[in-house]
Structure 1
Amino acid sequence: MNIIIVGCGKVGCTLVEALSSENHDIVVIDSRPEKVSALTDTVDVMGIVGNGVSHTTLKQAGIETADLLIAVTGSDEENLLCCVIAKKSGHCQTIARIRNPIYNEEKDFLQKEFGLSMIINPELTAANEIAKVFQFPSAIRVDTFAKGRVELLHFKIGSNSPLCGLKLSKFHATLHCNDILVCTIARNSEEVIIPNGDFEFAANDIVSIVAKRRDAIDFFRKIGLEKNRVSNTIIAGGGKISYYLAKSLLMSGIKTTIIEINQQRCEFLSEQLPKATILCGDATDKELLSEECIEKAAGFAALTDLDEENILLSLYANGISSAKTVTKVNRINFTSVINKLDLGSIIYPRVITAEYIIKYVRSMNNSLNSNVEALYKLEDGKAEVLEFLLKENSAVCNIPLQNLKIRKNTLICCIYRNHQVIVPSGQDCMMPGDSVMIATSGYNISDIKEILED
Structure 2
Amino acid sequence: MSNVIVVGCGRVGSQLANMLSDNGSNVCVIDRSADAFANLGRNFNGSTLQGVGFDEDTLVKAGVDDCDVVAAVTQLDNTNLMVAEVASRLFGVPHVIARLYNPDHERAYMQLGIDYVCGTSLVAEDVFSKVVSGHGAHIDTFGEFEVLRFSLDLSSREGKRTIRVGELERDHDIRIIAFERGDGSASSIPNKESVLYQGDSVLACVRHELIPMFSKYIQE
The question of a shared fold, defined as TM-score above 0.5 by the shorter chain, is answered with: yes
Q: Which residue of 2 aligns with 1:435?
A: 205
* Structure 2: gaps (5+ residues): 154-161, 178-190, 197-201
Deviation at 1:72, TM superposition (A): 1.0
Q: Alignment RMSD, CA only?
A: 4.1
Task: Classify the secondary structure of the residue corresponding to 2:37.
Answer: helix
In structure 2, how many angstroms separate the alpha carbons of the residues matched to 1:58 and 1:390? 30
* Alignment partner of 1:359 out of 100, 110, 129: 129
Where does 1:382-397 land on structure 2 (aligned, <5 Å)? 389=148
User: For the Cα contact (< 8 Å) 2:9–2:39, is it kept in 1?
Assistant: no
Deviation at 1:440, TM superposition (A): 9.7
Task: Classify the secondary structure of the residue corresponding to 1:64.
Answer: helix
1:119 partnered with 2:122? no
Note closer, same or farther for the CA distance 1:405–1:102 as it changes in structure 2 (3 Å cut): closer
Deviation at 1:356, TM superposition (A): 2.3
Deviation digits for residues 336-367 of structure 1, max 9, x if unmatched? xxxxxxxxxxxxx1xx2223222222222354
The AA in structure 2 aligned to 1:363 is S
Q: What is the identity percentage for the equivalent residue pairs of Structure 1 and Structure 2?
A: 23
Higher relative contact order (CA 8 A, sep 6+): 2
The AA in structure 2 aligned to 1:32 is S
* Richer in helix (by share): 2
The AA in structure 2 aligned to 1:445 is K
Deviation digits for residues 178-211 of structure 1, max 9, x if unmatched? xxxxxxxxxxxxxxxxxxxxxxxxxxxxxxxxxx
Where does 1:103-142 land on structure 2 (aligned, <5 Å)? 103-111=105-113, 116=114, 118-123=115-120
Deviation at 1:89, TM superposition (A): 4.0
In structure 2, how many angstroms separate the alpha carbons of the residues matched to 1:441 and 1:29? 23
Deviation at 1:49, TM superposition (A): 1.2
Where does 1:30-429 land on structure 2 (aligned, <5 Å)? 30-39=31-40, 41-92=42-93, 93-111=95-113, 116=114, 118-123=115-120, 349=121, 352-367=122-137, 389=148, 405=163, 411=171, 413=173, 415=175, 427=193
User: For the Cα contact (< 8 Å) 2:136–2:148, is it kept in 1?
Assistant: no
Q: Which residue of 1 aligns with 2:184?
A: none
When the two structures are superposed, what TM-score results if normalisation uses the length of structure 1? 0.35
Count of aligned positions: 188
Note closer, same or farther for the CA distance 1:361–1:372 as it changes in structure 2 (3 Å cut): farther
Task: Classify the secondary structure of the residue corresponding to 1:360.
Answer: helix
When the two structures are superposed, what TM-score results if normalisation uses the length of structure 2? 0.66
User: For the Cα contact (< 8 Å) 1:371–1:388, is it kept in 2?
Assistant: yes
Task: Classify the secondary structure of the residue corresponding to 2:28.
Answer: strand
User: For the Cα contact (< 8 Å) 2:4–2:70, is it kept in 1?
Assistant: yes
User: For the Cα contact (< 8 Å) 1:52–1:82, is it kept in 2?
Assistant: yes
Note closer, same or farther for the CA distance 1:373–1:105 as it changes in structure 2 (3 Å cut): closer
The AA in structure 1 aligned to 2:205 is S
User: For the Cα contact (< 8 Å) 2:133–2:146, is it kept in 1?
Assistant: no
Deviation at 1:413, TM superposition (A): 3.5
Task: Classify the secondary structure of the residue corresponding to 2:66.
Answer: coil
Deviation at 1:23, TM superposition (A): 0.6
Deviation at 1:84, TM superposition (A): 1.7
In structure 2, how many angstroms separate the alpha carbons of the residues matched to 1:441 and 1:65? 24
Deviation at 1:42, TM superposition (A): 3.6
User: For the Cα contact (< 8 Å) 1:36–1:48, is it kept in 2?
Assistant: no
Note closer, same or farther for the CA distance 1:372–1:46 as it changes in structure 2 (3 Å cut): farther
In structure 1, how many angstroms separate the alpha carbons of the residues matched to 2:136 and 2:175? 22
In structure 2, how many angstroms separate the alpha carbons of the residues matched to 1:440 and 1:434? 11
Q: Which residue of 2 aligns with 1:320?
A: none
* Structure 1: gaps (5+ residues): 124-348, 377-385, 396-403, 418-424
The AA in structure 2 aligned to 1:108 is M
Q: Which residue of 2 aligns with 1:180?
A: none
1:25 partnered with 2:22? no
Deviation at 1:441, TM superposition (A): 10
In structure 1, how many angstroms separate the alpha carbons of the residues matched to 2:152 and 2:39? 43
Q: Which residue of 2 aligns with 1:213?
A: none
User: For the Cα contact (< 8 Å) 1:373–1:388, is it kept in 2?
Assistant: yes
Deviation digits for residues 100-126 of structure 1, max 9, x if unmatched? 132024331133xxxx3x111123xxx
Task: Classify the secondary structure of the residue corresponding to 1:361.
Answer: helix
Task: Classify the secondary structure of the residue corresponding to 1:3.
Answer: strand
Task: Classify the secondary structure of the residue corresponding to 1:119.
Answer: strand
The AA in structure 1 aligned to 2:11 is K
Q: Which has the larger radius of gyration?
A: 1
